[in-house]
Chains A and B, each alone.
Chain A
């Protein structure tokens, strides 16, 4: 196989996954519209887009981390920590902008701790972030206990529940769109992005081609911390409620979105476009099920199943393809053998 042929094949495979997602998305939108006439109303779309903005934010840096073959399970706990911190600071009469700044800083510190433990001690990120998942959520409880802070200033909660003037797009979602574009540019149009793929593809090779793996990984974990903290702030403002258990379990939805978006846990693969499509798909699915009065527990089952199926399906396709190729080769060999014996 020539080099060119190989690369077009790889391209075709990548386009495939995103095409599949886009088709599924179209089916979901049309299906949702047929099932429920409220589905296509602007009010519902405001609701739909606002409801998954936190998970969408968590998924962006997480995609990059998973592409480098690491994982961050602590994102939802950082979200909770930042939410509690914001509540505590506001209760202590700290001004809102300063409070938000402190929260983002705390997120950066939390991410830096993850990155430091992973890079400096060479610890597996799975174990580290299971530990910090408990640690950061624990800090959230230490800060706020079982209290709730709710009296945030209306001009800030207004941002949380408001829409961009003259559109149905919720303001927090606009923030996600901007960040998604930034991450898309970073991953697909800069050398940093190429390095991220290089690390995931073959870490040793990346090291020998001069990639500063430690610095890049620490930066990614810090980015994940900051954006998780940002998601915590948005969550707090949207519901005007700061509680230690805010966003418990969000890491599952974020990971499900990343994996369904075509990023593989073996690293080195996946695109921001795929992740954004899968986020929309999950958001629409949740919305359609909620409109159909399906209970919350079914949503859990659906999200969990999506996570498993999105890995199982490509695996099954790959192994079937492999088996077919083997069969074909056997047949060719048998044919050759038959030819040689007749000679």
Chain B
């Protein structure tokens, strides 16, 4: 965000600002990675593998939207994977229990359920004053435990789900899967909301300096609560889409994906120390990680390496962020010395 402040009339132009941004380096990295893999294995750019790539990244990218808002405020939401699991199974049971129910109703119900579960986090964090890490670590296990108790070994299969709903995960519009369109639209909405609206700027303000945010008259508790409500609702929507994408859902659905989401967000330039980053960057981070895992698959690296690489990427990203912040601080000190 500091980049925008630097673009004064006599400062560097718009293009130059973009070229120096995190988003540009991510696009560059994705391009390089794609080029290398395509040279080694031309099938990497086939329509089918591109479609798979888009589908793979979509649900993670959707969850990244919520997590960005959370991390901007120096908070963290670990419970999203459990919310996705519960709402995915809920969507399936709605189709089984009420044959002929419109898909829209199911998606709305799942989103509402996610909103309620996000509300539990929000209440505990904003008014119970429990640190987000403790709260969402607890609800990660509580929600998943409740899910296991409810599912009780059952499973939703693709035959239980109407074809029109599964089409969200299979059909394409202009070559891009419907699922990916949904995520792109929400990305635009959240990006504009965070950039152009007062409420969006408040998320940045809280993360930059919580005390200053209070003094500036921001209702910090309420703002933090809305972040967890949004994150929960998005996770609920992701649950419905999870069912549409995979067709089969059991109690273990989406277990552990919170790590990938947090890694994507941080790799995408949203600083874990709050106040810095954009949602577009975060989604590019998800894309980079997704391209990276496809690269590993195409290069026949055993899948056991995936998790180790993911952890290494997260560590690298936070180290780069810290280095950039350090350099920025050094440069601004030099600037002040001229005054």
Contact = CB atoms under 8 A, between A and B. Distances in A.
Contact of B145 (A124, A134, A137, A304): A304
B72 interface: no
A138 B135 contact: no
B139 A131 contact: no
Q: Is the interface of A mostly helix, strand, loop or mixed?
A: helix
Interface residues of A, number: 47
Interface stretch (B92-100, B184-192, B239-247, B299-307): B299-307
Contact of A308 (B76, B130, B147, B314): B130
B263 interface: yes
Contacts of B311: 131-138
B314 A131 contact: yes
A311 B308 contact: no
Contact of A300 (B76, B141, B302): B141
Interface stretch (A35-43, A115-123, A157-165, A192-200): A115-123
Interface in A286-343: 295-301, 303-305, 307-308, 311-312, 315-316, 319
B28 interface: no
Given A134-B311, A138-B308, A126 B133 contact: yes
B133 A265 contact: yes
B324 to A, nearest CB: 12
B135 A308 contact: yes
Contact of A301 (B133, B145, B259, B263): B145
Interface in A82-129: 117, 121-124, 126-128
Contacts of A315: 128-130
Given A127-B266, A305-B138, A141 B308 contact: yes
Contacts of B135: 308
B144 A255 contact: no
Given A130-B314, A138-B308, A123 B322 contact: yes
A177 interface: no
A71 B141 CA distance: 19
Contact of A124 (B140, B273, B312): B273
B205 interface: no
B149 interface: yes
A259 B133 CA distance: 12
A252 B302 CA distance: 29
Contacts of B139: 304, 308
Contacts of B131: 265, 311
B261 to A, nearest CB: 11
Nearest to B74: A124
Given A145-B304, A300-B144, A311-B130, A127 B124 contact: no
B18 interface: no
Interface string A179-209: 0000000000000000000000000000000
B322 A122 contact: yes
B315 A132 contact: yes
Given A122-B322, A133-B311, A295-B149, A301 B305 contact: no
B309 interface: yes
A134 B141 contact: no
Of the candidates A138, A256, A308, the one having the most CB atoms from chain B within 10 angstroms of its own CB is: A308
A255 B141 CA distance: 13
Interface in A219-275: 244, 249, 252, 255-256, 259, 265
A152 interface: no
B306 to A, nearest CB: 7
Contacts of B124: 308, 312
B148 interface: yes
A52 interface: no
A173 interface: no
In order of increasing CB-CB distance, the 10 nearest A-B pairs are A138-B308, A135-B311, A134-B311, A300-B145, A138-B307, A297-B148, A304-B141, A301-B145, A131-B314, A304-B142
5 contacts: A71-B133, A127-B314, A132-B311, A295-B148, A297-B145
Interface of B: 76, 124, 128-131, 133-135, 137-142, 144-149, 259, 262-263, 266, 272-273, 302, 304-312, 314-315, 318-319, 322-323
Interface of A: 71, 117, 121-124, 126-128, 130-139, 141-142, 145-146, 244, 249, 252, 255-256, 259, 265, 295-301, 303-305, 307-308, 311-312, 315-316, 319
